[in-house]
Amino acid sequence: AQSVTQLDSHVSVSEGTPVLLRCNYSSSYSPSLFWYVQHPNKGLQLLLKYTSAATLVKGINGFEAEFKKSETSFHLTKPSAHMSDAAEYFCVVSAINYGQNFVFGPGTRLSVLP
């Protein structure tokens, strides 16, 4: 069965410093991997996705993630945090290779300090 581990439930950074949100996955086949963000009282929004093309994936708002098969990791990074980045971030893996059945990680809450 597919699974996702997000190693930190809460990450706190200062504005202007780098962001690293860690994600490890388990999958019995080549999965599709995603990062979604959920701002308070707003719906989930896709940040970026990996689908077996380039291993370094660029997303919206300056975020990027690197797929490392040997480490089964898909960590999310951003060079410089902004106050508006404060939100809950979810790493997601496709559970099957047909249709849509996604496994969400438990989430990492990102706080950005002024």
Footprint of another protein (CB under 8 A): 32, 34, 36, 42-46, 49, 51, 90, 94-107
CB of 60 to another protein, least distance (A): 11
5/77 with CB nearer another protein: 5
The residue behind tokens 């962001």 is: 19
Determine how β-strand 108-113 pairs with β-strand 10-14: parallel
Cα(97)–Cα(79) distance, integer angstroms: 33
Output the CA torsion sign for 47, 52, 53, 55: positive
Minimum Å gap between C-beta 23 and another protein is 14
Judged by CB, which is closer to another protein: 16, or 69? 69
